[in-house]
Structure 1
Amino acid sequence: MTSIEERLVTVMTTRPDGLVDPEAQMCPAASVVKHWDLSAQDKAALTGIGLPVDGLMTPGFQREAEPLLTPDLAGPYERGLISADQRLYDLGRWEGTTSPPRWERWRNS
C-alpha cells in the first residue's frame, strides 16, 4: 500500500481529465464558451472537464456570451475577489437553492 504522501503526489500530478469520471461530468458546448470572456485555460477546463453532476449540483450553462449574474459581495473576503460592477456566468444550480455556482469573469488587463 502506498503512503498518503505518494497518493497525494499522484493526484496532484495527474491531468484533471484523468481523474474525473466522464459519467459524472457535464461540459458546456465549445461553441458557447468560445464567446465567453475567459482565459484559454479556463475555456479548455470547462469544455474538456466540465463540472460535476451529482446530488447537489445540476450544471446548466448559460448560452449567452455576456455574463448574466451580479456577484453577492457578502463580506470583505468576497469584496477582495471581485468588484460589484463585475458580472458572473451562470453555470447551473445547487440543489434546493436558487443560488448558482459561478465561474467568475476575469479580464486580462
Structure 2
Amino acid sequence: MKDRLFVPLNKHWYDLFLEGKKKWEIRGLSNRFNRQTVRVGRDVELRRGYAKEGAIWGKIVEVHIVSTVYIPIINVLEELFPIPKSSPLWDEIQEYNAKYSKFIVFKIEVNKNMTIKETKS
C-alpha cells in the first residue's frame, strides 16, 4: 500500500493491538504526525519497531487533536492505554506527555484479514 502511515510500536503496544485490546494510537503533534498525515481513511501499517515481519494493517477511522495524553475531551483512555493502573508504563506515558504541547490521537480499525501474526520460534 503506497499511501500508508507507518507507525512503529514497542513490543507491549504492538501486542495489545494484535490482541485487539488497543484501538487508538497517540503521537506528539509534529511534521510526521499531523492533520495532513493522520487523516480518516488513510491506511496504517503498525509494526513492532522496524521489524520487517509482523505488520498489522488498518485504516484510520477517527482523529482528534488534544493537549494531553490523558485526553479529557474524549472518552477513549481505556482503548488507548489498555493497561492496569499499577503498570510501570504509566511513568513512560507521563514522560511522553511532558514532551509535547499537543497530541494527535487516532482510532485504527484493524483489518484482520491483512494482519500478519508473527511465528513463535
TM-score by length of 2: 0.30
Greater per-residue helix proportion: 1
Structure with higher Rg: it is 1
Which structure is higher in RCO with an 8 Å CA cutoff and minimum separation 6?
A: 2
TM-score by length of 1: 0.32
